Amino acid sequence: MSKDNSAHCLNADQIASYLGISRSLAYELMHQKDFPCLSVRGRLVVPQDRFIEWVDKQLELKNRER
């Protein structure tokens, strides 16, 4: 997944594939309060740039725990 300036949004299947998790786990993640998810006419989507920022933040938090 490349980081660019497009307004591309990701769905649950794409989130699951990127993180190597199941689709149902991706949906659980998308319902978490701190996850950058939008509901567009009942469909959950995640702006790609916000997703990458979220992943980076999770890595930073994990590294601080060490």
Ordered per-residue pLDDT tens for the chain, 66 residues: 555 555 599 999 999 999 999 999 999 999 999 999 999 999 999 999 999 999 999 999 989 887
Interhelix angle 12-19/23-30, nearest 10 degrees = 110
Query: What is the structure's pLDDT at 37?
Result: 96
Query: What is the structure's pLDDT at 1?
Result: 58
pTM: 0.80
Nearest-angstrom CA–CA distance, 30 and 44: 8
Query: What is the structure's pLDDT at 4?
Result: 54
Q: Tell the CATH topology of 9-65.
A: Multidrug-efflux Transporter Regulator; Chain: A; Domain 2 (1.10.1660)
Write down the residue that tokens 């601080």 correspond to: 64
Compute the half-sphere exposure of residue 52: CA atoms within 13 Å on the CB side of its CA.
12
At residue 59, the 3 state secondary structure works out as helix
- Report domain extents, the chain: 9-65
